[in-house]
């Protein structure tokens, strides 16, 4: 191991990248790399990239232009800076990245992060590209130290599966992340036990198609996500569980039963629909109809009446007519989403939809605006309905104002409350007194006490979180992504 070097990681895109960035930092730590939030003082800069839409991929090249200047400035002072490109752009474009951006030293695909220390060492002599797709990186990635986990806060992501076999015609994921691979139950449980031991209270199980999970259980048989969640709910200290992103076809009976039985499984489901038109859903190869999607929601609401939904929509998929688009607007009204992400269709090289007849850019832009207005309307309604209700809030960190804490409602809304710092890491009932644009404001509803949804329901019995039940018929904020969780050094 050489002396201490500084590492800056910038993460683009989804939660999987946020998780991977942390694991890359953990893997480099024993090799003397200490994270920094300032790119200009780093000896190694890693851009963990996203290839899902053209805009996301192009952002990387503009960021590389900025980092190249830092590298040149450092060289003038006699300091060497290495640049690594990781993530899905690395996987998709490989050597092409070095041709387009010669300042890049290392290109590393998502399944090769365990080899990062060796690749960085080799970069002293040559440019390195490693986009091997086959390895199971999870077994060999270094876990974070207890102190590091503590510093990262009370909510954490845990990747349970990676890759996807669905091949939706618009999507690059099956090409960049490879075939679906699920981690064994016991390894996931061990990781969560370590996190809980360091003070983590909320776990979000993540995967590109998380409910396709079928990892090996302790009995040697493949377990479903519902079974995994049931097992994880018994880890001492874990108060809340979430999972994302799900495919409507994989919402099986075990998962719905887990929502029915486990108070610690939050009543907030991100279930991408993409389009409300059966014709477009078929062209997207989504393998379900709008009717089947609505059936899933009915089953979810029967099992967990206080559930709120969020979604992803694509506008302007090839061949989308005004009538197809209207069907998406109709579904937004029918489901009454608490929030949703929406995107203009972006042709991705090598995917089937890229070769189909495209919708004009201005039509996409106009539809996106209309769709976002519909989503915003429902989201505002959902948030407004939270006023006066009492939710359990998991306090995560100090707020902007002195004496204030920020936590999350069951629906992932940020909630700002005047409360003592000792409540960080605790789940406490809060009455919502004001609804802002991006957060809710509230007041402690009872004397502070260790009071968790998990503890109220330690065994998997059919009972719901009481305060969430009080919040029935109410709503949530933007489909809050956990991209706001701090990636040290990012």
Q: Which residues bind ligand SF4 (CB under 6 A)?
A: 164, 166-168, 171, 173-174, 208-209, 247
Instruction: Kindly tell me which of 206 and 239 has the beta carbon lying closer to ligand SAM.
Output: 206
| Interacting positions 298-337 with ligand SAM (CB under 6 A) | 312, 314
163 versus 399: smaller Cβ distance to ligand SF4: 163
Report phi then psi at 89, rounded to 5: -70, -40
Smallest gap, in angstroms, from Cβ of residue 218 to ligand SF4?
A: 28
C-beta neighbour count of 143 within 10 angstroms: 14
- The residue among 19, 113, 12 whose CA lies nearest residue 58 is 12
CA-CA distance, 272 to 137, in Å (whole number)?
Answer: 28
Among the residue ranges 154-162, 166-174, 391-399, 466-474, the one whose residues contact ligand SAM (CB under 6 A): 166-174
**Contact of residue 174 among ligand SAM, ligand SF4, none (CB under 5-8 Å per partner type):** ligand SF4
Find out whether 119 and 106 touch, Cβ atoms under 8 Å: yes
Sites for ligand SAM among residues 229-248 (CB under 6 A): 245, 247
Q: How many residues bind ligand SAM, per CB under 6 A?
A: 18
169 binds ligand SAM (CB under 6 A): no
How far apart are the two ends of the chain, measured CA to CA in Å? 24
Q: How far is the CB of 53 from ligand SAM (least distance, A)?
A: 5
Is residue 53 near ligand SAM by the rule CB under 6 A? yes
Report how far apart, in Å, the C-alpha atoms of 383 and of each of 244, 331, 396, 439, 444 are.
21, 19, 20, 9, 19
- Please say which residue, 171 or 338, places its beta carbon nearer to ligand SF4: 171
CA 349 to chain centroid: 24
Residue 52 interface partner, choices ligand SF4, ligand SAM, none, CB cut-off 5-8 Å depending on type: ligand SAM
* Whole-angstrom distance, CA of residue 254 vs CA of residue 223: 10
List the x/- string, 439-458, binding to ligand SAM by CB under 6 A. --------------------
Residue number, 208 or 452, with CB nearest to ligand SAM = 208
Measured CA to CA, the distance from residue 275 to residue 293 in angstroms comes to 11
CB of 381 to ligand SAM, least distance (A): 23
- Write the CB contacts of 420 (distance below 8 Å, at least 6 apart in sequence): 405, 448
In contact, 410 and 471? CB cutoff 8 Å:
yes
Note if the bond before 108 is cis, omega within 30 degrees: no
Binding interface with ligand SAM (CB under 6 A): 14, 52-53, 170-171, 173, 208-209, 245, 247, 272, 274, 312, 314, 343, 345-346, 348
């Amino acid at each position: 191991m050489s002396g201490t070097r500084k590492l800056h990681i910038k993460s683009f895109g989804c939660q999987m990248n946020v998780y991977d960035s942390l694991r890359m930092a953990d893997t480099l730590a024993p090799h003397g790399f200490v994270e920094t939030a300032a790119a200009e003082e780093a000896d190694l800069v890693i851009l963990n990239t996203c290839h899902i839409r053209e805009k996301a991929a192009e952002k990387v090249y503009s960021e590389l232009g900025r980092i190249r200047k830092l590298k040149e400035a450092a060289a003038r002072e006699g300091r060497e800076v290495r640049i690594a490109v990781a993530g899905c752009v690395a996987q998709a474009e490989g050597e092409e990245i070095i041709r387009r951006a010669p300042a890049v030293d290392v290109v590393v695909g998502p399944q090769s992060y365990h080899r990062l220390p060796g690749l960085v060492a080799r970069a002293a002599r040559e440019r390195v590209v490693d986009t091997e797709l086959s390895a199971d990186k999870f077994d060999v990635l270094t876990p974070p130290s207890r102190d590091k986990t503590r510093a990262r806060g009370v909510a954490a992501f845990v990747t349970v599966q990676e890759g996807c076999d669905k091949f939706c015609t618009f999507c690059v994921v099956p090409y960049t992340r490879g075939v679906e691979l699920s981690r064994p139950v016991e390894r996931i449980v061990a990781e969560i036990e370590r996190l809980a031991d360091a003070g983590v209270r909320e776990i979000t199980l993540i995967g590109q198609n998380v409910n396709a999970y079928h990892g090996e259980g302790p009995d040697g048989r493949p377990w479903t996500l519902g079974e995994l969640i049931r097992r994880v709910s018994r880890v001492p200290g874990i108060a809340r569980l979430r999972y994302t992103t799900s495919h409507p076809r994989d919402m099986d009976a075990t998962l719905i039963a887990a929502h029915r039985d486990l108070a610690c499984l939050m009543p907030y489901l991100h279930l991408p629909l993409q389009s409300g038109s059966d014709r477009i859903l078929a062209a997207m190869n989504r393998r379900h109809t709008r009717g089947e999607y609505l059936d899933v929601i009915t089953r979810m609401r029967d099992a967990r009446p206080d559930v709120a939904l969020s979604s992803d929509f694509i506008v302007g998929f090839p061949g989308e007519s005004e009538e197809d688009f209207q069907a998406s607007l109709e579904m937004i009204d029918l489901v009454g989403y608490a929030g949703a992400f929406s995107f203009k269709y972006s042709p991705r090289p090598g995917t089937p939809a890229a070769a189909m007849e495209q919708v004009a850019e201005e039509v996409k832009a106009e539809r996106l605006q209309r769709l976002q207005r519909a989503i915003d309307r429902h989201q505002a309604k959902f948030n407004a309905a939270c006023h006066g209700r009492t939710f359990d809030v998991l306090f995560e960190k100090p707020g902007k104002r002195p004496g204030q804490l920020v936590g999350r409602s069951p629906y992932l809304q940020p909630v700002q409350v005047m409360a003592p710092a000792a409540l960080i890491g605790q789940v406490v009932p809060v009455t919502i007194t004001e609804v802002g644009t991006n957060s809710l404001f509230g007041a402690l509803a009872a004397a502070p006490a260790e009071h968790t949804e998990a503890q109220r329901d330690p065994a998997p019995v059919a009972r719901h979180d009481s305060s969430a039940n009080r919040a029935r018929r109410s709503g949530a904020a933007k489909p809050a992504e956990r991209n706001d969780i701090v990636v040290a050094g990012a």
